[in-house]
Chains A and B, each alone.
Chain A
């Protein structure tokens, strides 16, 4: 059963993530993804994550399709205007890509080409609306398309944002613009996630709780300081700090599994962002009881 059918029939889904390389050697990432066949329902492919220039999401998604894996095409508004964004969505469809995750995108100054022109001609909401329009056979100015693409559109939300209300307002607008599922920013506190889920239950849209594997205490502290809506509790930072370098993956997997077990009764899926630790995803799933 494909990802769209599974999520829309209310079943629990698991997604993971592939960050394309800086360069052209993609084989390793594809092989790692293949080992997760049957365990992971779909793979997000990031679109120049953190504004770092890399191999593209569209091409990588197509390579996944060719290997019988289902991609979720991440598309951001950072680098393309409305002409290019609409065109890339049409391209994605003819290349066999059926799931799209729409994001505004990080500002270029965060990445490795800080001199670049920030585009942001559209934002996550207007791009969702444009994608919905394409599915109805019209471009953004109302011109007819020859044939209509079909997508399952998704979006992101940050359940630990403070204040939370603007996130909820935007989430509702994303749903109105066509978002059919949500993946969240990394969760480290099941209690606050539960609070968020209680607020958004009324929207009746599938939500996949986000998991980012901690690699070290330093990474956790960095995220707490710099990354929006991430708050790794001291107990996890201490667990990572106390682990020897060889034991860190094991402890990280243990933390992730604890969070997943806490979350899985609250939402309709899990989205694992391994950030380079793809090889540990199978143990995360196993430890979490999948």
Chain B
């Protein structure tokens, strides 16, 4: 199970300056999704948005692909796509819109209990500090066998991971995606990223009641 929370407002507002198309996911809604806060944010920034799509279960790639087809022009006209969903949803949209910068509007947190609907290639570790905005919508934690945050290790050969020749090097995918978007400077300029394992405990571990309160 998982919950999502809005990313910090400053970061989000900067993304709204890039003429975004908005995609909201309403699957897994019974767990927690900051619906009111998202609506508030969208209302405040209405003039900057090229369009909004609302889908159930973005993680179902085929469904999302068909559903988003009718928004093709609006997505094309946008500068970026901001996705309000868990990390899997963001990655599905990044995959479906390879020519667009796809940004996460939420951080995804782990919540004890059963999760998931279907078998998926894409994965979200629910780390609570979504890195997808630095990595072209490809998760460095789940796509890299070492979960490296600051770039490729020296182990990839012909684009494949040292752990398994069947597995793509996640960082090479990230590099190619960013290069295609002319965003390779994002990796170059981002600060040194270090994962904060306490974040999950701070937010959820000691007191889950506040989720319901929100």
Q: Which residues of A contact B (CB under 8 A)?
A: 82, 104, 106-107, 109-110, 118, 120-126, 129, 140, 156, 158, 161-163, 165-167, 169-170, 172-173, 177, 185, 226-229
Contacts and interface: CB of A to CB of B under 8 A. Distances in A.
Contact of B163 (A109, A126, A140, A229): A109
Contacts, number: 80
Nearest to A119: B146
Contact of B172 (A122, A166, A169): A166
Q: Which 4 A-B residue pairs are closest in the complex by CB-CB distance?
A: A125-B150, A170-B151, A120-B146, A104-B153
B78 interface: no
B152 A170 contact: yes
A169 B184 contact: yes
B151 A107 contact: no
Chain B interface residue number, banded: 20 to 34
A161 B154 contact: yes
Nearest to A226: B157
Given A169-B184, A228-B157, A110 B162 contact: yes
A164 B172 CA distance: 11
A125 B147 contact: no
Given A107-B146, A126-B194, 11 more contacts: A104-B148, A110-B163, A166-B175, A167-B154, A169-B151, A169-B184, A169-B188, A173-B151, A173-B192, A228-B155, A228-B157
B155 A106 contact: yes
A129 B192 contact: yes
A122 B148 CA distance: 8
A140 B179 CA distance: 32
B156 interface: yes
Interface in B80-120: none
B150 A126 contact: yes
Nearest to B197: A121
